[in-house]
Structure 1
Amino acid sequence: MASKANVTFPVLLASVVLVVATVVRLRLTPIGREVKRHLGYHEDSYLNFTEIATKYGFDCEEHAITTEDGYILTVFRIRRRDCARYKRPPVILMHGLLQSADSWLDAGPKSGLAYLIAGQCHELWVGNQRGNYYGRRHVRLNPDRDAEFWRFAVHEIGVYDIPATIDYVLKNTGEEKLNYVGFSQGAGTFFIMCSERPGSCDKVNVLVGLAPAARQTHTRSAPYRALATGINKFEGLLTSMGFHELFAKGAIEQEFLSFLCKFRATSEALCGVFLTIIDAFHPGSVSGESLRVLYGHFPAGTSTRNMARYGQSMQSDKFQKFDYGREMNLEMYGAERPPSYNLSAVTVPFVALYGRNDHLADSKDVHWLVQQLPNVLEAAEVADPLWNHLDVTYSQFNRRLIFPKLNQYLSKFSD
C-alpha cells in the first residue's frame, strides 16, 4: 500500500496548481449543456436548482431578494406537491463556504437535506449568500468590473444577507417567525446577525447549526489551513493585482473537476480522495453518483476577502471581526485589534449537530461555541465516529444520521 505521504503529495500538488490557475484567472469557455449531455455528464450536474427539484417531483419557485446594500440573492421555495394542506412555519436552509443552494440537492432525493425537509411537509426556503453564482448580482455594481462588489466577508453576509432573507420569507409567508438551519458558514453568519442586528434573533423559533463555524482555532485540515492563511497573508497583493474573486463556477478548476468526475471510473478513486484531503477520511459516505454531481456545483465562488477572513479565524482564539491591521482597525473600530462578536446576543434556542472527524469545523471549536451561547437546547455528536464536515451536505447516510434529530426540532418548533 502506498504511504500516506506518497498519496498526499501529488494531491496537494494538484491542489496548488488549481489554486494558481484560479489566481491567474485561467478560465475555460463554459461547456454548454448539449455538449455536457453528449459527453456523458450526470444530468443533475448541469441543471439548476429549480430544474433538479422539479425533476424529482417537488414544486419549486425562484425568488430574488435585494439586500440593504444592493446585492441581489436568489432563494428557492421548495415544497412537496401533496403538502398544501399542512400549515407549518417556514424553514430557511443555508449553505456553507464555497457552496450554493444546489449543494442541498447533490446527495440525491433519498439523502439530500432539501428533499428530506420538504418531504416532511415543512415550508422550505433554500437560500444563497453573496458571491456564489446565485448571488453574483447587484443593483449597480458589476462583479466582473467593479472591485467594490467583492469587498465583503462573513460580516457583511451576517449583517445584510441573512436578515434580508429572513424578512423576505416572513413577508411572503405571512408568518411572524420561522425556523433556521445553517451549515458551517450558514450558521456562523447567523451568529453575526444576532450580534450586529438587535431584534433579528426574535424572528426565529429555533436555530439548528450543522457543523457550525464560528472561530476556527483548531481546524485540522492542513490544505485548507495553508490555503486560507496564505490568502490572508497575500490578500493585499492579490487585490492590488485585481484578483477579488476566488473559486468561481466556470473557472478552470471547477470545470476540470466537473469533467474529471463525470467518469464513473474516476469519480470515487480521484474525486473522493480530493474531498478526503480537504476534510477527512470517511469511506463510502459520499456515493459515486453524488461525486459525479457535486463538482458541477462546487466550488461555487466567494471573495478573496472572505477567504482571508477564514485565514484570520484560524490564527485567533476569538470569534471576531475582520482584522484590517492596526491603523485601519483604529479607524474602523476605535481599537488596535478587532472586537469580538457578542455571542450572548444569540438568544434563539440553539441545537448543534457536529462530527468527531470534522477537520474543518473541529469539535473543540464547536464545544467552545456552545459554552458561549445562552440558550443551548442540545449539542449532539453524530453517532458515526468518522462523520466529517462535508458529509452534512453530500453523505448518503444523512437520512439516518442527521435528519431524525434535525426533523425532531423542526417539528417541535412547528407545533
Structure 2
Amino acid sequence: MTSKRLNTFNIIVLSAVVVAAGYLIRTPWFPIKRELKQSLGYPKDSLLNFTELTGRYGYSTEEHTVVTEDGYILTMFRIAKAKNCHKRKRSPPVLMMHGLLLSADTWIDSGPNAGLAYLLSDACYDVWVGNIRGNHYGRRHITLNPDKDKKFWDFYIEEIGKYDVPASIDYVLDNTGFEKLNYIGFSQGSGTLFVMCSERPGYCDKVQLMIALAPASRQYHSQSTIFRGITQMFEKLEDAFSLCGLHEVFATGAFTQEFFAFFCQVSDMTEAMCEVFMSVFDQVDAFHPGSITNDTTKVLVGHFPAGTSLRNMARYGQSMRSKRFQKFDYGMEQNLVMYGSERPPEYNLSAVTVPVLCLYGKNDGLVDTKDVEWLTSRLPKVLEVMLVEDPLWNHLDMTYSQYTSYAIFPKVNEYLLKFTEE
C-alpha cells in the first residue's frame, strides 16, 4: 500500500514538473517551425493539419467557422468528397466530436484504412468533424485573447456542452437544410452531448441517433494511475497554477507536446517506448500490442495533446472521486453562491432522449466498464450496448487502432444505416 501511494505521489510530482517546464520555460524554440521538423525527418503526416492530411490521401475537405453564443471561434471540417464514394451522399449529416486533449485530427491520424472519418466518408456519409474551445482549432474568440485573457480559459465540460456542441449542431443543420443529424462522440465528446441535453432543453431533439464511443460521464472507477494522478494534481494545485498564470494546459506547440513529437521519431527504440507509454497512459497493467501502429503513434503525437483549460482538467480530477455525474465542485461555500446548494447539481441523464448506441472496451483504463454500465442504466433510450469483442480493446483504440474497420465500424455503420436515407 505504501509503495502504491509513493508511486502515485511520484507521478503527481513528475506531472507538476512537466507542466511547469512546459509553461514557465518559454523560449523562441517553441513551437518548433515546420521547416525545421521537416529537416529533422519528422513524418510528413504529423506536420499536416486536417485539410492538408485528408487532401494528401485524395479526400477534399472544406473548412468552416463556427461562432458560439459566448464568442468562441471554432474550426469545423466537412469531408466534401471522399476518395472511394462515387455516388450521392447519404442523409442526414454525421457530426463527429473528439475527446479530451484531442481535436478533429484524432479521427484521421490512423490513416485512410482505419481512421473512422475516412471510413464513414468512403461509405458515402456526409461527414462533419467538430472541434471545441481550447484546442488548436478552437483557440480564438471574438474579444478575448487566449495568450493574455484568463477569462478565455474559464471553462470545463459545462461550457462545451452548453455552447460548443449546440453551435456545431446548429451550424451543420443550417448549412445542410436538415432538421436532425446523427452524432458520434468519443469519450468527452459523448459526455458533452449529455451535458447539452441536460442544460439546453430542446437540443436533444436535433439529434436522431447518438453513437457513444467509450462515453465519459462519471469516472469513479478509472484505473489509469497516470490519468488519475495528473488530473487530481491539477485539482489540488489549480489555484496555485492559476496564480502562476497557468490557465492553458497541454497545448499544441508547448514543450510537452513538442518533446513527445520529437522523441517518438528519433529511433526505433524511442518509437517502441512511445508505444508503451500510450498503453501505460490508458491502463497501468494493460497493453494491446500492435493495435496502434508505430506509424500512427508518430503521426498522432504531432497533433496530441491538443490543449484544454486548467479548469477542465481539474474537473476530471473531481470526477475520479465522485459517484455522480455532476458540475464543478467549488467547495461548500462557493457552491452555495453558484448553485444554491452545498453539493454541485447532477447532470440530468434522463433528459438524454436521443436513441443511443454505446460501444466500449473491456480493457479501457480511462472509462471503466462499471462506469459505462452505470451510465447506460440511466439513459432512457439505449438501443444497444456493445462490448468490443477484442478483450484487449482499450480507450485509445476507439480512435487510433488499425483494427477499427472490423472491430467497431460494422456496428457503427449498421446503426447509421437504420437512421439514414440514400
TM-score range relative to shorter protein? over 0.9
Change (3 A) 1:272 1:350: same
CA distance in structure 2 between the aligned counterparts of 1:205 and 1:266, rounded to whole angstroms: 47
Is the contact between residue 90 and residue 123 of structure 1 (CA under 8 Å) also seen in structure 2? yes
Partner of 1:248: 251
Change (3 A) 1:288 1:264: farther
Spell out the pairing of 1:287-326 with structure 2 (5 A cutoff).
287-326=293-332
Partner secondary structure for residue 372 of structure 1: coil
Partner of 2:24: 24
Percent identity between matched residues is 58
CA deviations 1:74-125 (Å, max 9, x no partner) are 0000131544523411001110000000111111111011111111010000
Q: Post-superposition shift, 1:325?
A: 1.2
Change (3 A) 1:364 1:26: farther
**Gap regions ≥5 residues in structure 2:** none
CA distance in structure 2 between the aligned counterparts of 1:180 and 1:338, rounded to whole angstroms: 28
Is the contact between residue 356 and residue 387 of structure 1 (CA under 8 Å) also seen in structure 2? yes
CA deviations 1:24-72 (Å, max 9, x no partner) are 3545422222221221111010111000001111110000000000000
Partner of 2:196: 193
Partner of 1:67: 68
Q: Post-superposition shift, 1:400?
A: 1.1
Q: Post-superposition shift, 1:266?
A: 3.3
1:413 to 408, 415, 419: 419
CA distance in structure 1 between the aligned counterparts of 2:250 and 2:234, rounded to whole angstroms: 12
Is the contact between residue 94 and residue 182 of structure 2 (CA under 8 Å) also seen in structure 1? yes
Spell out the pairing of 1:151-190 with structure 2 (5 A cutoff).
151-190=154-193
Is 1:129 matched up with 2:150? no
2:406 to 400, 404, 410: 400
Spell out the pairing of 1:196-211 with structure 2 (5 A cutoff).
196-211=199-214
CA deviations 1:204-237 (Å, max 9, x no partner) are 1100000000000000001110111111111111
TM-score by length of 1: 0.95
The one-letter code matched in structure 1 to 2:30 is T
Q: Post-superposition shift, 1:331?
A: 1.1
Q: Post-superposition shift, 1:19?
A: 3.1
Partner secondary structure for residue 254 of structure 1: helix
Partner secondary structure for residue 326 of structure 2: coil
The one-letter code matched in structure 2 to 1:56 is Y
Partner of 1:258: 261
TM-score by length of 2: 0.94
CA distance in structure 2 between the aligned counterparts of 1:355 and 1:26, rounded to whole angstroms: 39
Is the contact between residue 88 and residue 124 of structure 2 (CA under 8 Å) also seen in structure 1? no
Change (3 A) 1:56 1:375: same
Partner secondary structure for residue 385 of structure 1: coil
CA distance in structure 1 between the aligned counterparts of 2:43 and 2:331, rounded to whole angstroms: 46
Is the contact between residue 231 and residue 304 of structure 1 (CA under 8 Å) also seen in structure 2? yes
2:82 to 73, 80, 83: 80
Q: Post-superposition shift, 1:268?
A: 3.6
Partner secondary structure for residue 92 of structure 1: strand
Is the contact between residue 325 and residue 346 of structure 2 (CA under 8 Å) also seen in structure 1? yes
**Gap regions ≥5 residues in structure 1:** none
Partner secondary structure for residue 352 of structure 1: strand
Partner of 1:353: 359
Larger deviation: 29-38 or 87-96? 29-38
Partner secondary structure for residue 179 of structure 1: strand
Partner secondary structure for residue 378 of structure 1: strand
CA distance in structure 2 between the aligned counterparts of 1:160 and 1:126, rounded to whole angstroms: 16
CA distance in structure 2 between the aligned counterparts of 1:282 and 1:8, rounded to whole angstroms: 23
Is the contact between residue 250 and residue 305 of structure 2 (CA under 8 Å) also seen in structure 1? yes
The one-letter code matched in structure 2 to 1:21 is A
Is the contact between residue 16 and residue 233 of structure 2 (CA under 8 Å) also seen in structure 1? no
CA distance in structure 2 between the aligned counterparts of 1:325 and 1:276, rounded to whole angstroms: 34
Q: Post-superposition shift, 1:407?
A: 0.9
Larger deviation: 17-26 or 124-133? 17-26
CA distance in structure 1 between the aligned counterparts of 2:375 and 2:90, rounded to whole angstroms: 33
CA distance in structure 2 between the aligned counterparts of 1:126 and 1:266, rounded to whole angstroms: 34
Q: Post-superposition shift, 1:371?
A: 0.4
Partner secondary structure for residue 377 of structure 2: helix
CA distance in structure 1 between the aligned counterparts of 2:141 and 2:62, rounded to whole angstroms: 21
| Superposition RMSD in Å | 1.9
CA distance in structure 2 between the aligned counterparts of 1:296 and 1:173, rounded to whole angstroms: 32
